[in-house]
Amino acid sequence: MDRFIVLPLLIPLTTAILAMIAPGRVPRRWVVRTALTLNLAAALWIFATILRDNTVLVTNAGAWPAPYGITLAVDELSALMLTITAVLALGVGIFGDITIDITRERFGFLPILNFMLMGINLAFITGDIFNLYVAFEVMLTGSFGLLVLGDRDNQIKGGIKYMIINLMSSTIFLLAIGLTYGVLGTLNMAHLAERAADVESPGILTILAAMYLVGFSIKAAAVPFFFWLPASYHTPPAAVTAIFGGILTKVGIYGMLRVHVFIFPNEMQHLQWLWLLMAGATMLVGVTGALYQREIRRVFSFLIISHVGYIMMGIGFDSRVGLAAAIFYMAHHMIVKTALFMMAGILEGIHKAKDLHRMGGTVNRAPVLSVLFFIAAMALSGIPPLSGFFAKFALLSAAFSAEQYILGGISLIVSLLTIIAVYRVWHEGFWKPAVDHILDPFIEEIVLERLDNVQRRLIVAPSVVLVGLAIGMGLFANASYELADRIAGQLLDRTRYVDAVLGDYQEEFEAENTLPPTFQVGRE
Amino acid sequence: MRENIFTSFTTRLMVSFLFMLSLYLLLRGHNYPGGGFIGGLVGASGVVSLYISRAASNGAVTRNSPRIRPGSNFWGYLMFIGITMVLLSGMWGLLFGNAYLDAWWYTSIIPGIGKIGTPFFFDVGVYLTVVAVIISITRVLANVKNPDDIYEETGE
């Protein structure tokens, strides 16, 4: 049954094709909704199988054996990411097909969304580092399409920054892959992990790890490579921002986990100072930007950066506790941030404004939305019974057990500032009395008047589910943390993954020294 | 603007060779350099050179530009057929074989083409998709409906 792990790739691709030729708006919506549900079912099936059998599912495309063919492998981390992505994609799919305007839909919002989803799923499934690059490119192409769809001036402006910086990141990533092949003679992740473990860190691997770090931190929007994110994320419609804010930066984080934790674990000790410095700076810069901004989606864009810093900090401690905390935090952040962006879109639709100063009085007009937003905002800032508190608590305890008191202190200060930034959004957007304002003529808001009652409920429903998940992660924090810890243990252990991918190959070639000549020269 | 007679004559000579070369590359692709992507690129370059030779010198698409039927989405459907072929050619391996895209070959050899199997349909699918994508992009980039519009916009 292992070969069916390609389903998370095939379902979005098929959907994209069907959505391209669907005969009208309503059939297209239902095709996409059905397919995203199927995608979620497939992801849940993969996750359940892996948790039950305690195994790694492997398939080789075209049945070419492991280090030569392209391996697709799903371990616990991949399965978790696949599942969360599937949940978010379903939510944003429903939210998006209702709220997107007719022009954008006619120019292919839903097909592009599904192509991007295919790229994201491929990034999580693949067991080959060059294939990871391909996945990043598919994702980047799709996301660029979504970003500029609609052809507004500010979208193009943001899109160009996004495109150029992300292409630079891809170039660095590709260079690093080429050098990796030159040094280690393979691109299969399991094979790389096996060979890299044998090397007595001759320096070249440190350089490789640093190059990967630059490549991934551009994708993840870490300081000093974060400029593209606040420049572009507030320009497209809310549905696009929601899926971008929830998933895209986290694919960069996934790359870090795969490459730095899984393949080059020994390099972390050389890069740790740089890593932690970047994490601290990212946290501080993100939250400071969020405090300064006045547009609701810009505030949350900057908060993404700040939370990427938290996750990087957890990875940077180079310990199992830190890693588990980082994975927990990542899951929490993906869920809550997507919900917040969707609700921010609805809020902009209610007030016909982007600027927080022009909002207010939402508590009376939309009480359900207000309560949901409040819970999600409190989860984001880390108030006790919710997921954010436990995620931050885990990170903080990891920081103190790693004796990184300065970074722990910074994370506490940033938490406090996050509460201020989020409270400001809550107060300005919801709590304060309604203000009369001139309607912003250029805003791309959701036209709520055009929706009937069912549709109005449907666009809030995804946020309800996601907020429910955030509450659940808080109430069952122990179980969630244990799951994160198990994933971290599996990622650090890496023998199970390697055995599952390379099983036959290892036995066959164990006697020979299979390292290529360049590698041996490099070692001496 | 008038057509350039040298360009259009050379193109007309060249295009048939380009198409034959692209089919040759497509068919030899499985074990030798070539295949759907490269073949598709060569084939598309033939169509693109037809566009260039028949377009006015400012790059606008004119009445002489090759087209299927004004307003039809032919290349879009070709893309659809291509991707669908790619998807389906792997399905056999997924359902009855060892892995997605696992090859399944028809045992006897067909003269002129050689062994036929699912990888052949995969290659053809890629070929069609590449041709359709390149030509769609060219059409979008070259699509200036009325050359006079350019002069009005630039004020020349």
Q: Are A183 and A203 in contact (CB under 8 A)?
A: no
Residue among B87, B97, B102 whose CB faces A14 most closely = B87
Check if the interface score ipTM surpasses 0.90: no
Q: What is the pLDDT of residues A359-414, one digit of tens each?
A: 888 888 889 999 999 999 999 988 888 888 999 999 999 999 988 899 999 999 99
Q: Are B80 and A20 a contacting pair at CB < 8 A?
A: yes
Q: How far apart are CA B42 and CA B34, in angstroms?
A: 10
Q: Could you say which residues of chain A have pLDDT below 70?
A: 200-201, 437-438, 440-444, 504-524
Mean pLDDT (chain A) is 88
In 3D space, the residue among A219, A245, A277, A513 whose CA is nearest the CA of residue A410 turns out to be A277
Q: What is the pLDDT of residues A445-467, one digit of tens each?
A: 777 888 888 888 999 999 999 99
Contacts of A40 (CB under 8 A, 6+ apart): A83, A86, A87, A89, A90
Identify the DSSP state of A265: G
Q: Which residues of A touch B (CB under 8 A)?
A: 3-4, 6, 10, 13-14, 17, 20-21, 59-63
Q: Which residues in chain A have Cβ-Cβ distances shorter than 8 Å to B94? A: 3-4, 6, 10
Identify the DSSP state of A5: G
pTM: 0.89
Region B5-23 average pLDDT: 87
Q: Which two tokens stand for residue A425?
A: 């959004």
Residue A511's pLDDT is what? 47
Number of neighbouring beta carbons within 10 Å of residue A23: 7
The per-residue DSSP string of B93-135 comes to: HHHHSSSTT---EEEEEETTTEEEEHHHHHHHHHHHHHHHHHH
Query: Does the CB of B101 have a partner CB in chain A at under 8 Å?
Result: yes
Alpha helices (H) along B28-64: 36-54
Region B3-29 average pLDDT: 85
Residue A440's pLDDT is what? 67
Residue among A4, A17, A63 whose CB faces B84 most closely = A17
In 3D space, the residue among B69, B85, B103 whose CA is nearest the CA of residue B36 turns out to be B85
Instruction: Give the nearest chain B residue to A12 (CA atoms).
Output: B87
